[in-house]
Each structure stands twice: as structure tokens, then as C-alpha cells.
Amino acid sequence: MKNYDVAVIGAGPTGLVLAGLLSRAGVKVFVAERRLHRGDRPKAVVLHAPTLELLDSFGLLDDVHARSIPLERFSFHVSGAGSYSAEMTGTDTFQDGYRNMPQPLLEGLLEKYALEYGAQIEHGVGYLSHEESDTGTTVHFDGHPDIRCTYLVGCDGPRSAVRESLGIAMTGRTLTSSYLLVEGMPQELTGRDEVGIFVGSTGMVTMMPIPGDQVLVAGPAVTGLSLERGAEVPWSRIEEAIETLGFGRRLRLAEAIRTSHYSVDLRTADRLVAGNVVLAGDAAHLNTPAGGQGLNLGISDAVALSWRILVALNGGNPQVLSGYDEERRSYAAEVVKTTFVVPFVERIRAADEATRPAVQAELDALALSWSQLYPGAGHFHDGRYELTAGARVPTALRTDTGVIPFLPPSDRADASTLILFDDAESAAPTTDPSIPPVRQVHRLPRPAHGGRITVPDGARGLLVRPDRRVARVLTA
Ligand SMILES: Cc1cc2nc3c(=O)[nH]c(=O)nc-3n(C[C@H](O)[C@H](O)[C@H](O)COP(=O)(O)OP(=O)(O)OC[C@H]3O[C@@H](n4cnc5c(N)ncnc54)[C@H](O)[C@@H]3O)c2cc1C
């Protein structure tokens, strides 16, 4: 039986990023993917700044630019009541806004990256079960001989068989509305720089541009239109539902090219870690497509998990994985909350001149959280994001005069970073056995007063984990 350090189940974006990061660090990785072919069925499209920064560190940003289009804002257009826009620019990153790229194209790039670093990726191989023993975990497949591994990671999507075999429940609820996804040619080519959410009295639909002058229509989320899984839904029925929203030609398609549909869940797994088996991505949490959170959240799970697996494999404290469970479940719960936009849409519908500023402020806050640049709502105080333990360190700081580079992106899951502020006199001791060793030291400017990013008074520097989260604030 072949032995691997890590077996990853599922070659979606989460599994592929994990495989790439671990292989890059010299770990022997096996990836089992049930599908023989990736296909081109519409799924997620929005790539947020942290994902773009990671893809940049993978050397893939040029490929991404060639296959995606830039966007600047999310706009809510309310039938008969004007529009509200949330800019996705002006955040603390050197990436401007976000980009739309069909998920199958992204997966193709990520797979190439993982293969280049030696990951073994097998298609047409379905996970069946596993058993853990003192010598490791044995995994049984359909379509492949058994393998043995030290860590098994279920990145096998919403109906995760790994999660099921662990008996872990997904707590939350399933919404009654369903989403139909249609990629096609619009009758009118408008709104090329925004994700437009069109709100009518009977429901809402999202329309966003994708490469090739096409659009992706997601919806309609219409009261009383519930789609059975796998049901054939005539496009004419959907068109009728969209017509009732009252936006006329703006939402009409000249041609529907590809379709898919899915039901929407708001759920988080009760546990993400059981012994040496871990869950990540959609196997661990599910949310609505609002703000394009699912794919980006799965990728950040992979980043958060990769360095912990390395610490554990290198003889560090295996309890390091429990930190993953706590941190990622609480962040997933935060994300799940921000994607349930029904109450917000009700407030938009009911808004008048007096309440409009409050609704806009709520949308601005949503946009900041959807950017995934500022995880951990608890780090925000009076609109400023404080870099204390657990906060994400930005790649660039936005100031009145422009963007100043801060901590550069890195694809190294095996290296922590020491930041010393350039006005601090000396370095404090920096060893911490619960994170990978410090291999990079950066002298950086202290975030200036007045910006969104702040550090605690008296901080001389920051010890930063490979997933860019602050491990410790260094003081005198
Ligand atoms: C139709 C659709 C539309 C979506 N639209 C959006 C959107 O607009 N915005 C957004 O943010 N998110 C959207 N999502 C969600 C987004 O696609 C997911 O969040 C993202 O794919 C999660 O990535 P993942 O790698 O965790 O899981 P997945 O992409 O689901 O990948 C899991 C992989 O595991 C494989 N697998 C499953 N079982 C096994 C097994 N037993 N053995 C081996 N392999 C297995 C599957 O074949 C799959 O390739 C959409 C999802 C769907 C289905």
C-alpha cells in the first residue's frame, strides 16, 4: 500500500490550493477526485483580493487576468426606488476591486500549479471510507487501490462523504428559495463593472458580467419558486419570474448557453477536526452566493490549514489543528451571517430619504466584510481594523496619498514572518513552537494614524503566521 503524508479528497478550489501549498513545502500529497472531467457548468465566479493575492504569489495572476474581467462594485437596484452601491475598491490591498472568472477555469490553473510541485492527482477516484490506526489512516476508494496517509482532508464539497463517515452534522438551515444559474448573451450589454442585484417586489435576481461579453444570471430567488434537486426547469418559467421583477430589457438574455441550479444552505459543520481527519471548504460550511463568499472562504481554509498540517507533520504539537477548528468555524459562522441578505433587502425596499444613509452605511460595512480582507469582526473598533492576535495582515495600506506596500504575499506554508516597525529600536524574542519558524524579517513602516489599519500602542513588531494572521504582537 502506498503511503502519503496527506490525502485530500476533492479537487475543487479548496483541495487544489491545499495540495499546491503542501506540495510546494515538500509534503507528499495524494488527491482523489470523483469526477473524470471538470466540465463547464456555472458555479462561483467572484475572486476577492485575498484570493488574487494568493494567485499572484503562485505566479498565476497573468493567467487569471487573461481569463477574467475586473469589477468594482456590488450594486443593489431596487425597482422604483433607485440604487445603492458598495465599492470594492479603496481597501487595504494592491489589488483593485475584484475579478470575475468562471470556477472551472480557476480550477484548471490551480491543478496545474499543484501538479508542478509534485502532487499526485487522480480523477475518477471516489472516496468510500477510512479507518484510523496507530500507524496512520487507511483510505478506501472506488476506482483506486487503498492508500495510507498521516492526515486525511475532506475537501469534498457540500455532501461530503468524509464528513458523513465521521458522523459530523451540519447545523443551520436550508432556504426555501433556489438559484438557477444561466450563462448567456445579454440583450443589452450594461453594467460591465459591477455585480448587479436587481430587487423587485416579488423577488430578486443577480446579473454579473463574465468574460466573452457574456453574463451570469443567478436567481431568481422568488418566493414560492422552489426547485427540486436535479429537476428540469424550463428557461421560459425562469424568464417569466424575472419579468415580474420589473427591470424590462435590462435582464433579458438573447441566448442562454449553460445552466445549472442549486439549493441554498446556511450551515456550518459541528466540528472540523476529528483525530487526524479535517474538513475544509464547502464540506465544512455553506452560505448563500451573496458577496461571492463560498469559493474564497474555501481557499482561505486551505491557507489556514496548510501551515498547521506542516507543523504537525514536523513533530510540532498535533493540537495545532484544534486552533483551525475554532478559528475557521467562527469565521465561517461570521460569513454565513453576512450572506443572509433577506433582512437587508427588506430594509432597502422600505428605505426612504431619512433611512437611506443608514442603509448605505450597512452596505458599506457588508462590502468590507465581503472583501475577506478584514476577517474577525472583533478587530474593528470605530471603523479601524486593529492588528492584534488573529487579525489578517494586509499586503498594502491605503492612505490619502495612495497605496503603500506592506507585507508582500507569500506562498510559503512553512515560513512565519517577523515584522519590525521601522521606528522600533530592537527586536523582541520571536520563537514560537506552535507556528512554523521565522524565515523572513521585514522592516516596515508603522501604519500611519488616520488609515483603516492600526496597531496597538507600544507595538514594536508583529509575529505573523503563514496565513498572514497575527500570531503575537511584540512589545518591549
Ligand atoms: C451551481 C453552483 C453555483 C454556485 N455559485 C456560487 C457563487 O455564485 N458564489 C460563490 O461564492 N459560491 C458559489 N457556489 C459555491 C462554490 O462553488 C463553492 O463554495 C466552492 O466550489 C467550494 O469549493 P470546494 O473545493 O470546497 O468544494 P467543491 O467545489 O464542491 O469541490 C468538491 C470536489 O470534491 C469532489 N468529490 C465529492 N465527493 C467526492 C468523493 N466521495 N470522492 C472524491 N471526490 C469527491 C467533487 O467532485 C468536487 O470536485 C456555487 C456552487 C454551485 C454548485
**Does residue 227 have a pLDDT over 60?**
no
Identify the residue whose C-alpha is closest to ligand 1 atom 19. 294
Q: Answer yes or no: is the C-beta of 14 below 6 A from any ligand 1 atom.
A: yes
User: What proportion of the chain, given as a percentage, has pLDDT over 90?
Assistant: 67
Summary mean pLDDT of the chain: 91
Highest mean pLDDT among 167-181, 275-289, 339-353: 275-289
**pLDDT tens-place string over residues 311-325:** 999 987 878 999 999
Q: Using alpha carbons, list the distances in angstroms from residue 383 to 7, 365, 386, 401, 437.
A: 42, 9, 10, 19, 33
Backbone phi, then psi, for 217, in 5-degree steps? -105, 125
Q: How confident is the model at residue 229 (pLDDT cuts 50, 70, 90)?
A: low
Q: Answer yes or no: is the C-beta of 206 below 6 A from any ligand 1 atom.
A: no
Whole-number pLDDT of residue 310? 96
Q: Answer yes or no: is the C-beta of 298 below 6 A from any ligand 1 atom.
A: yes
Residue 165 CA, ligand 1 centroid: distance in Å: 19
Whole-number pLDDT of residue 223? 57
Look at residues 341, 270, 274, 328 and name the one whose alpha carbon lies nearest to residue 298: 328
| Stretch 119-123: mean pLDDT | 98
Q: Answer yes or no: is the C-beta of 154 below 6 A from any ligand 1 atom.
A: no
Place of cell 502532487: 119
Interacting residues of 53 by C-beta distance below 8 A, sequence separation 6+: 93, 94, 95, 395, 409
**Does residue 475 have a pLDDT over 70?**
yes
**pLDDT tens-place string over residues 443-452:** 999 998 888 9
**pLDDT tens-place string over residues 359-389:** 999 999 999 999 999 999 899 998 899 999 9
Q: Locate 123 and state its grid cell.
A: 480523477
When mean pLDDT is compared across 50-64, 74-88, 234-248, 448-462, the lowest value belongs to 234-248
Identify the residue whose C-alpha is closest to ligand 1 atom 26. 281
The larger pLDDT score, comparing residue 272 to residue 228, is at 272
**Does residue 167 have a pLDDT over 90?**
yes
Q: Answer yes or no: is the C-beta of 103 below 6 A from any ligand 1 atom.
A: yes
**pLDDT tens-place string over residues 143-158:** 999 999 999 999 999 9
Whole-number pLDDT of residue 47? 96
Rounded CA separation 109/17 (Å):
10
- Are 16 and 110 in contact by the 8 Å Cβ rule? The answer is yes
Residue 451 CA, ligand 1 centroid: distance in Å: 37
Whole-number pLDDT of residue 36? 95
**Does residue 122 have a pLDDT over 80?**
yes
Whole-number pLDDT of residue 81? 82
Q: Answer yes or no: is the C-beta of 301 below 6 A from any ligand 1 atom.
A: no
Residue 158 CA, ligand 1 centroid: distance in Å: 7
Rounded CA separation 244/202 (Å):
7
Q: Answer yes or no: is the C-beta of 394 below 6 A from any ligand 1 atom.
A: no
**pLDDT tens-place string over residues 182-217:** 889 999 888 889 999 998 887 888 999 999 999 998
Ligand 1 pocket mutation pick from 43, 125, 210, 227 by most atoms within 8 angstroms of CB? 43
Dihedral angle computed from the Cα positions of residues 262, 17, 126 and 162, in that order, rounded to the nearest 10 degrees: -80
Q: How confident is the model at residue 426 (pLDDT cuts 50, 70, 90)?
A: low
| Stretch 162-183: mean pLDDT | 88
When mean pLDDT is compared across 86-90, 161-165, 331-335, 360-364, the lowest value belongs to 86-90
Q: Cα angle vertex 393, ends 388, 395, to 5°?
A: 160
Q: Answer yes or no: is the C-beta of 293 below 6 A from any ligand 1 atom.
A: yes
Count CB neighbours of 108 within 10 A. 14
Look at residues 212, 208, 213 and name the one whose alpha carbon lies nearest to residue 182: 208
Whole-number pLDDT of residue 317? 80
Q: How confident is the model at residue 251 (pLDDT cuts 50, 70, 90)?
A: confident
Q: Answer yes or no: is the C-beta of 259 below 6 A from any ligand 1 atom.
A: no
**Does residue 234 have a pLDDT over 70?**
no
Residue 301 CA, ligand 1 centroid: distance in Å: 14
- State whether the Cα torsion 310-139-12-332 is positive or negative: negative
Whole-number pLDDT of residue 145? 98
Whole-number pLDDT of residue 228? 59
Whole-number pLDDT of residue 428? 59
Q: Answer yes or no: is the C-beta of 292 below 6 A from any ligand 1 atom.
A: yes
pTM above 0.75, yes or no: yes
Q: Answer yes or no: is the C-beta of 370 below 6 A from any ligand 1 atom.
A: no
- Are 464 and 471 in contact by the 8 Å Cβ rule? The answer is yes
The full set of domains in the chain, from first to last, is: 2-45+102-169+270-338 (3.50.50.60), 174-265 (3.30.70.2450), 381-474 (no CATH)
Whole-number pLDDT of residue 464? 96
Residue 111 CA, ligand 1 centroid: distance in Å: 15
When mean pLDDT is compared across 1-15, 122-136, 195-209, 213-227, the lowest value belongs to 213-227
When mean pLDDT is compared across 49-58, 164-173, 192-201, the lowest value belongs to 192-201
- Are 130 and 6 in contact by the 8 Å Cβ rule? The answer is no
Look at residues 298, 326, 45, 315 and name the one whose alpha carbon lies nearest to residue 153: 298
Whole-number pLDDT of residue 391? 97
Residue 294 CA, ligand 1 centroid: distance in Å: 9
Rounded CA separation 292/290 (Å):
5
Can you tell me which atom of ligand 1 is nearest the CA of 298?
A: 26
Whole-number pLDDT of residue 334? 94
Whole-number pLDDT of residue 178? 67
Q: Using alpha carbons, list the distances in angstroms from residue 198 to 216, 218, 221, 225, 357.
A: 13, 10, 11, 17, 20
Q: How confident is the model at residue 24 (pLDDT cuts 50, 70, 90)?
A: very high
Q: Answer yes or no: is the C-beta of 102 below 6 A from any ligand 1 atom.
A: no
> Is beta strand 416-421 parallel, antiparallel or unpaired with respect to 438-444?
parallel
Dihedral angle computed from the Cα positions of residues 116, 119, 123 and 127, in that order, rounded to the nearest 10 degrees: -160
**Does residue 224 have a pLDDT over 60?**
no
Whole-number pLDDT of residue 231? 59
Q: Answer yes or no: is the C-beta of 262 below 6 A from any ligand 1 atom.
A: yes
Q: Answer yes or no: is the C-beta of 13 below 6 A from any ligand 1 atom.
A: yes
Q: Answer yes or no: is the C-beta of 447 below 6 A from any ligand 1 atom.
A: no
Residue 373 CA, ligand 1 centroid: distance in Å: 22
Identify the residue whose C-alpha is closest to ligand 1 atom 13. 44
Residue 271 CA, ligand 1 centroid: distance in Å: 19
